[in-house]
Structures are given as structure tokens and as C-alpha cells.
Structure 1
Amino acid sequence: MIIDIPSTTTEAVNKKLIDVRKTGGVVTLGRVLTLVVCTRDGDNTEHVIDAANEASREHPCRVIVIARGPREAAARLDAQIRVGGDAGASEVVVLRLYGDLADHESSVVVPFLLPDTPVVVWWPEEAPPIPAQHPVGKLAIRRITDATDRENPLAEIKSRLDSYTAGDTDLAWSRVTYWRALLTSALDQPPHLPIESAIVSGLAEEPAVDMIAGWLASRLDAPVARHAGLLYVQLNFVGGGTLTISRPQTEITATLRRTGHPDALIALGRRETRDCLAEELRRLDPDEAYEAALAGLTKVTYE
């Protein structure tokens, strides 16, 4: 069910939420957190809401979407309440801010925060320079950004280190969770040879590849090079021999090759935004491995 409330106030929207809860049986009991999504009002808004809805099936929550409209428009608030099949396992409040109101996101969102539950903020598009100092970011214990598809993804992901505050993370990091797990698992197999160097290759505009390189640089006492081109990670062992995981850019099956061993085919498709978001909502504590990977980027050689 979708209820539109044009040209309204936060008080009127809250009253409508209570009415919907009484008549439809929708309650906030069992909501484990409040997810605030800060985005622009546009063609991508529905995709963002869909991703939040899917993530809420694993983490029942209240989703508050702050969609900023044109600044030149007259100041007004258009709201929308979504419950039932249109809201996953959550209740969704979409707040479209126009004109000067778009500069007051935190003031608009505060009345809708669930009491005594943690707040997570997600910026699916442009993120503030320092998320923890943004007015909405200050409300949250976890702040999620996404460097993917930005104008300069490499500069975007590298800037995360200077602005890092405990509780920050980026979906470029969770997009490579399976790659990191596969590499770790492969290295647990004998023979346990020291690594001499590593090469990480992929699209130049894909920050997830940079995160693999940064993570390896933070873990290995060996040089790590980042190449632009085919998608693969290659570890070169002292004394000869290599371990390589490669995958065509748009396919879902990767090949693991290791000197002296038969090739292995592994399911390793690109992760959807909703899956990455759900993963990040599983933990509300600081992610030290992500911070270390950001620091590791300073050690990576770009070729």
C-alpha cells in the first residue's frame, strides 16, 4: 500500500503513520534499526528504495528516504508512506524536499526516527566530504557511502581515508567480500609459500578493485600493483609459482588457477547493491579491516 501526502508537514505525516498502524496492523515492534537514505529525487530513487526494501527483509527496520528535489522550487515537503508488499519487511517513509527545505535534512528526519534503535545512514549517490560531520551523519552509528559510478571513483575511494571515522564504510568494500574470502581460503591450502608480489587488475573506474588492492597491501609484506584491464588477482610466490583468480567482467563464474593444481571454476558474480547493503547492516561496530584497506591504498602502485 502506498499513501501519498503532498505539500504536508512532519506532524501530519507522523499522524498518518499512526493511523495506518491502527487500521492496517502495521507496528514498529521488531524493527531493529532505522535506515535513513539520503539521495536526489530522480530516476534512480525507486531503485534505491527497492534496494533498501530488499535489505530490510533480513533486517526489519523503518526506512526513511530523504529525496532532495530542485533547489529553485518553492519550499515544500511531499511525503509518501509505503507499507505491506510495497515496503519489504519494513515501513518506508519517503520525504521529498524542495527548495530551501532540502538544506534541512536532519530537522526533517528526526521526528521519524524510531526510539531506542540504532540509526544507519546510506548515501547511494554523492556523499558528504566527511560523512560523520554531516548533520544526518551525526545521528548515526553507521554511515554507508558508495564510490561506485561517481565521476572520479578512485579519487572518491581514496578520500575516504582522510574523512574516516569509526562507523564509516563503503559498498565498494562489501562488493569484494567473496573475492577476499576466496583468496584467504586459497592461501590456507598447502604449500604455504611466502608471497613475493601481487597484481590486481580490473576496470580503472571500478573502486571495488582498488579495495582488493588496498586490502592485500594492508595484509602482505610485499608490493601490490594495480593494473587497468581484465579482471583478475594474481599472487606471485617466492621461488616461483602463482595463484590467480580471474573472471570476465560481465560473467558470474571465475577461474582459480594455481601452479601445480588443476583449474577450479567458482561462482563469483558481481554483487547487487541490495546484498551489499544487507551485509553492511549486519554489523553496527567499526570495521577495522575496511579502515586498514583504505590505508593500504597508499601503498599500492598504479601502472
Structure 2
Amino acid sequence: MKIDLTETTSSKINAALVQARRDIGTPAIGMVLTLVIVTDEENAYDALKSANDAAHEHPSRILVVIKRVSRSPRSRRDARLDAEVRVGADAGSGETVVLRLHGELVNHAQSVVLPLLLPDAPVVVWWPDDAPPDVARDPLGALGQRRITDTYASENPQDALTQRAAAYAPGDTDLSWTRITPWRSMLAAALDQQPVKVSSVAVEGEAENPSCELLAMWLADRLQVPVRRMSSDGPGLTSVRLETKDGDIVLDRADGSLATLCMPGQPDRAVALKRRDTAELLAEELRRLDPDNIFEAALKFGVSKLGAESPAAAPAKAEAKAAPADSPETVTGPKADSAPAKPAAKPAKKAPAK
């Protein structure tokens, strides 16, 4: 069932939701959360489709906030709210309200959304494309226990990661981080099977893919070893190489769907590592509503070292440069383990004259 409301209010939208549920014979509310999608007209269809697919696992009330920027000064002064209410088969497993805000109402979106939130249910706010610099302080973001962004949709993903780290608050997350969950699980399982000391890491992927940066930050933070960031033609992440004294552990995915795991002393094995769509990523994030401390640690550890040759090697280089050329601290590698030089022999004493 679809109900179009023009020049309406939040109270009229609530009344329309109640009436629509009665008309289709389901007066009870069986939803577990409210998902607020903040987007524009161009990306609204794709975002709503992904949210409806994710709602099959997480039945929710979906509120799509579309801010219609007026062109003329007169239109900007006028405030108008148009809504489209969808219940039943047209809304998947929950309820959907598409809100189009015009004029001055664009700056007060939270006043429209607040009366439509489900009582005593968590709120998740999702920006599919451009997100504000500080999502936790945004008026709509402040309504949510969980705030989801996607730096992959930004013009400059590295700058977006820098902003996310500077303004991070508990409850923030990013779909670029969600994309590497299978990679992190596979690499952690590989190290569990072979508990060896990793000396360095190489992460290879598309140059403008923030998931590659986040995976490199996570590895540098957890392993405390130098991590090299290398570029490839993609798609997405293509390879991770963990260098150890017993041989390299390599997880390589060249086609975006099937990967090969190579481990020393074991035959190569094929593992499913396909690129997931937005609905699967969103459904994963909706499974947990508590702060992601691992994401916070990875984001804050490496964000200041983006573009560096090795996040963990910079301090070592600075120490080596500060030490004198003939100082013992500059000796590295095998020379550092060699036996110390014997002291020079003392000059022989002169025999007493007879």
C-alpha cells in the first residue's frame, strides 16, 4: 500500500501509518529498529532498495530523508514537507516513509524525523553518499546509536578517512571497513594455523579504495610491523602478503570473487571471497549496535600515516638518521648479531736494561 501526502506534517504521517496497518490487517508493530537514510534524489532509489533487502533480516521502519534544495530565494523561505508512506508488500518486511524536505525545513530535518521514530527501539543513521564531517554532532546523527558512512563514495577517500578519524565518536562505522570483514577473518585464521612471527606486510589494491587503507591500518596496529601499501588495477582489494621467516602467507584475489590462500608447507587452497553488495554490508552492520573498538583503533592508528611507505617504519628511520654514522645504534640486520670486536692489544712493556 502506498499513500502520498503533500504539504503534510509528522502527525499526519503517523496517522497514515496507523491507518495503513489497519487496512492491511497488521495493526501491531513488529520492527526492531528505525533506519534513517540521509541522501539525495539521485541516490535515493539504490539506497532504499539496499535497505529493503537488509530489512528481510532486520525488520525496521525506514525513513528516507531527501533534502530538496530550492533555487530561488522565495522558495528557500517556504517550508514544505511531502511524504510517501509504504506499508505491506510495497515496503518489504517493515514500513517505509520517504520524506522530501523543501525550503527552510531542510535545516530542521531532525524535527521532522524525531516524531516518526519507533518508541523504545534503537536508531541507526546511514549516509550512503556524502556525509557531514562530524556525523555524531550532526542533528540527524545525534538521534542514532549507530552512524554508518561510506568513504568509498567520497571524492577523496583518504581525506574522508582523515575526517572520520578526527571526529570519531563511539557508534561510528564505515562500510569500507565492513567490506574487509572476510579478509580479516581469513588472515586471522591463517595466523592461527601457523603461529609464526610476521616481519612485514604488503597490501595491494586499487589506489582510491579506502578498504585497502583500512586493512593496512588494521594489520599495522595488530601486528606492529611495517606495512607497505601497493596499487593495482583491482577490482578492490587484490592481495595481502605476510612475510615470515618460514615463508610468505599470501591471500590473492585477482578476479573479485575467488581467492587463493598460500601457506608455507601446505597446498594452495581456493577460498570464496566475493565482493558483497550494499545490502549485505548494511545487514552486517545492523547485527551489532555497540561501538566497534577495533575499527576505532585501526582508524586512529594509521590515518596520520596514509601515503607513507610504512606506518611502522617511520620512527625507526628517524632514529637511524639522528644517530652518528659511526655509532653502534646504526648497525642493523645480521651485523647487529655478530660478536663484538676484540679490544686492541696493549703495547708491550719495554724490557729493563741490563
Given that residues 127 and 150 in structure 2 are in contact (C-alpha distance below 8 angstroms), is that contact kept between their aligned partners in structure 1? Answer: yes
Cα deviation code 1:155-182 (max 9, x no counterpart): 1123211111011101111111101001
Is 1:273 paired with 2:278?
A: yes
Is 1:260 paired with 2:259?
A: no
Is 1:153 paired with 2:157?
A: yes
Is 1:171 paired with 2:170?
A: no
Equivalent residue number for residue 247 of structure 1: 253
Cα deviation code 1:224-264 (max 9, x no counterpart): 11111152111001x2510111112x531111112332211
Cα deviation code 1:191-237 (max 9, x no counterpart): x2100000111011111111111111110121111111152111001
Cα deviation code 1:32-77 (max 9, x no counterpart): 11111111122x2111001111111111111111011123263321
Q: Normalized against structure 1, the TM-score is what?
A: 0.94
Given that residues 254 and 268 in structure 1 are in contact (C-alpha distance below 8 angstroms), is that contact kept between their aligned partners in structure 2? Answer: yes
Is 1:19 paired with 2:19?
A: yes
**1:26–1:125 distance in 2 versus 1, CA, 3 Å:** farther
Is 1:180 paired with 2:184?
A: yes
Aligned-pair CA distance for 1:9: 2.1
Given that residues 227 and 302 in structure 1 are in contact (C-alpha distance below 8 angstroms), is that contact kept between their aligned partners in structure 2? Answer: no
The sequence identity of aligned pairs, in percent, is: 46
Is 1:199 paired with 2:202?
A: yes
- Say which SS state the counterpart of residue 82 (structure 2) adopts: strand
Cα deviation code 1:276-301 (max 9, x no counterpart): 11111111111101101102324566
Is 1:8 paired with 2:8?
A: yes
Aligned-pair CA distance for 1:28: 5.1
- Say which SS state the counterpart of residue 110 (structure 1) adopts: helix
Given that residues 36 and 119 in structure 1 are in contact (C-alpha distance below 8 angstroms), is that contact kept between their aligned partners in structure 2? Answer: yes
Aligned-pair CA distance for 1:103: 1.4
**1:140–1:206 distance in 2 versus 1, CA, 3 Å:** same
Match of 1:107 among 103, 111, 114: 111
Q: Normalized against structure 2, the TM-score is what?
A: 0.81
Given that residues 255 and 266 in structure 1 are in contact (C-alpha distance below 8 angstroms), is that contact kept between their aligned partners in structure 2? Answer: yes
Alignment of 1:115-130 (within 5 A): 115-130=119-134
Equivalent residue number for residue 213 of structure 1: 216
- Say which SS state the counterpart of residue 37 (structure 1) adopts: strand
- Say which SS state the counterpart of residue 50 (structure 2) adopts: helix
Gaps of 5+ in 1: none
Equivalent residue number for residue 83 of structure 1: 87
Given that residues 55 and 274 in structure 1 are in contact (C-alpha distance below 8 angstroms), is that contact kept between their aligned partners in structure 2? Answer: yes
Equivalent residue number for residue 54 of structure 2: 55
Equivalent residue number for residue 339 of structure 2: none
Gaps of 5+ in 2: 310-354
State the alpha-carbon separation in 2 of the partners of residues 11 and 123 from structure 1.
25
Q: How many aligned positions are there? A: 299
- Say which SS state the counterpart of residue 193 (structure 2) adopts: coil
State the alpha-carbon separation in 1 of the partners of residues 34 and 213 from structure 2.
30
State the alpha-carbon separation in 2 of the partners of residues 45 and 63 from structure 1.
12
Given that residues 213 and 300 in structure 1 are in contact (C-alpha distance below 8 angstroms), is that contact kept between their aligned partners in structure 2? Answer: no
State the alpha-carbon separation in 2 of the partners of residues 111 and 284 from structure 1.
22
- Say which SS state the counterpart of residue 271 (structure 1) adopts: coil
State the alpha-carbon separation in 2 of the partners of residues 104 and 226 from structure 1.
42
State the one-letter code of the partner of 2:250: T
Equivalent residue number for residue 34 of structure 1: 34
State the one-letter code of the partner of 1:11: S
Aligned CA RMSD, in angstroms, stands at 1.6
- Say which SS state the counterpart of residue 104 (structure 1) adopts: helix
| Structure number with bigger Rg | 2
Cα deviation code 1:76-111 (max 9, x no counterpart): 211111122221211001101122221111011011
Given that residues 68 and 102 in structure 2 are in contact (C-alpha distance below 8 angstroms), is that contact kept between their aligned partners in structure 1? Answer: yes
- Say which SS state the counterpart of residue 124 (structure 1) adopts: coil
Given that residues 147 and 171 in structure 2 are in contact (C-alpha distance below 8 angstroms), is that contact kept between their aligned partners in structure 1? Answer: yes
Given that residues 26 and 83 in structure 1 are in contact (C-alpha distance below 8 angstroms), is that contact kept between their aligned partners in structure 2? Answer: no
State the alpha-carbon separation in 1 of the partners of residues 219 and 105 from structure 2.
44
Aligned-pair CA distance for 1:121: 0.6
